[in-house]
A and B are shown apart, each in its own frame.
Chain A
Amino acid sequence: SQQGEEDPQALSIQEGENATMNCSYKTSINNLQWYRQNSGRGLVHLILIRSNEREKHSGRLRVTLDTSKKSSSLLITASRAADTASYFCATAAFDSWGKLQFGAGTQVVVTP
Chain B
Amino acid sequence: DVKVTQSSRYLVKRTGEKVFLECVQDMDHENMFWYRQDPGLGLRLIYFSYDVKMKEKGDIPEGYSVSREKKERFSLILESASTNQTSMYLCASRTQGAGETQYFGPGTRLLVL
Contacts and interface: CB of A to CB of B under 8 A. Distances in A.
Partners in one complex: yes
A45 B42 contact: no
Contacts of B45: 99-101
B61 interface: no
B90 A97 contact: no
B41 A2 contact: yes
Nearest to B102: A100
A25 interface: no
A72 to B, nearest CB: 15
Interface stretch (B14-22, B79-87, B104-112): B104-112
B56 A104 contact: no
Interface in B27-45: 31, 33, 35, 40-45
Interface residues of B, number: 30
B106 A97 contact: no
Interface of B: 4, 31, 33, 35, 40-45, 48, 50, 56, 58-59, 90, 92, 94, 96, 98-107, 109
19 contacts: A1-B59, A30-B98, A31-B98, A33-B101, A40-B107, A41-B106, A41-B107, A42-B4, A42-B104, A43-B92, A97-B56, A98-B96, A98-B102, A99-B48, A100-B102, A102-B42, A102-B44, A104-B41, A104-B42
